[in-house]
Amino acid sequence: MFKFKSPSKRTCQIMAEVANNGINENFEEKTIEKIKDMTKHEEARITSSGNNSIFIALSAIEGDIIIPDQGGWHGFKQIAKFLNKNIITLKTDLGLINAERLDELEINEKSALIFTSFAGYTAEQDIKSISKYCKNNDITTIEDASAGIGDKKNRLGNGKYSDIIIASTGSPKMINVGSGGFITTNDQEILKKTGVPQKLSKTNEIICSGIYSELDNVSNNLEVTLDATEHVKKHIPNAIHPSKRGVNVIIPHDDAKSICWDLKKTLITDKSGFITTCPNYNRVKQKAICIEIKNLDYQCLKKEYLDIIIDNVTCQL
């Protein structure tokens, strides 16, 4: 049986001690400093959820909100609509952004492009080229780095490239606390303009302590997840974006729904599953099987477990 990812024992212990008033520290301040150090941004705020981080970021944008046509997060569009923003959809290569395609769009001043570190969780975005184009064209970049924070290559979740970085720290994200999120930037005006949503998105010391603990291991955990995904991609034919770094494996198939149903019977987990189906805006908008490597406990990312996944999936294709 496969185990679903959960917070580390150390994280659970610290959160429990804070909840029982066993630790008297200001974890919010300490966690903010850690986040700033990791993202290389000068300002950071901890929020009650990833969606609230998105809400704060989009609230600060005066122009259009540009979203990818697939491979993003459904909250981008939902929150932009709620804020009555003009939404522009950018055509992608199965979620991957080619910044030059922005030339084809009519974009107002003070607009923003919002995207995830990994398109559909399966393929690393070319953050450097996206950043270069957007900086040259006065477009604010908002990177949802929920899956990319802690990148040892310093390409993802890096304030050198993204103007605003947001993340969820809920389950089963890379910073896995079960709740919470954060937003970072170098632009103090963004935070000045969003004081009200920030106040409405306050979290507590328990969540802050959990984030503080999880940040210690996030880089190693991301690397293990990336390596595991690479191994599975190499051994399953027809995976989307096979040469790209990612944290899940997406395999197009006309009979995806039936195959996923069978896989869920054989690849059993102790809690939630790690087999999902497409079409799904958060992944790709075509029929496909998704193997959510990122959802698994790190002990289940060893070769013997990954080979079980490979054998079961390839038998169904």
pLDDT (mean) for 48-67: 98
Of 105, 101, 184, 172, nearest in space to 142 by CA: 184
Q: What's the total number of domains in the chain?
A: 2
268 within some domain: yes
Considering the domain architecture, whether residues 131 and 238 belong to the same structural domain is answered as no
Domain harbouring 273, CATH code = 3.90.1150
pLDDT (mean) for 215-223: 98
Of 236, 282, 289, nearest in space to 261 by CA: 289
| Helices and strands (H, E) in the chain, number of each type | 11, 12
- Find the DSSP H helices in the chain: 9-19, 27-39, 50-59, 74-82, 127-136, 188-192, 195-200, 205-214, 218-235, 256-266, 303-316
Task: Specify the pLDDT at position 22.
Answer: 81
Tell me what percent of the residues of the chain surpass a pLDDT of 70.
100
Task: Specify the pLDDT at position 43.
Answer: 98
Considering the domain architecture, whether residues 149 and 37 belong to the same structural domain is answered as yes
Tens-place pLDDT, residues 272-296: 899 999 999 999 999 999 999 999 9
Query: In this model, does residue 24 exceed pLDDT 90?
Result: no
Diameter of the chain by CA atoms?
A: 57
Tell me what percent of the residues of the chain surpass a pLDDT of 90.
97
CB 14 within 8 A of CB 210: yes
Task: Specify the pLDDT at position 23.
Answer: 85
Task: Specify the pLDDT at position 50.
Answer: 98
Considering the domain architecture, whether residues 65 and 197 belong to the same structural domain is answered as yes
Task: State the DSSP code for 86.
Answer: P
Of 194, 145, 195, nearest in space to 174 by CA: 145
Considering the domain architecture, whether residues 193 and 83 belong to the same structural domain is answered as yes
Tens-place pLDDT, residues 123-161: 999 999 999 999 999 999 999 999 999 999 999 999 999
102 within some domain: yes
Considering the domain architecture, whether residues 45 and 153 belong to the same structural domain is answered as yes
Q: pTM value?
A: 0.97
Task: Specify the pLDDT at position 49.
Answer: 98
3 within some domain: no
What Cα–Cα distance (Å) separates residue 277 from each residue in 73, 260, 289?
15, 7, 5
Task: Specify the pLDDT at position 92.
Answer: 98
Reduced to 3 states, what is the DSSP secondary structure of residue 174?
coil
CB 113 within 8 A of CB 66: yes
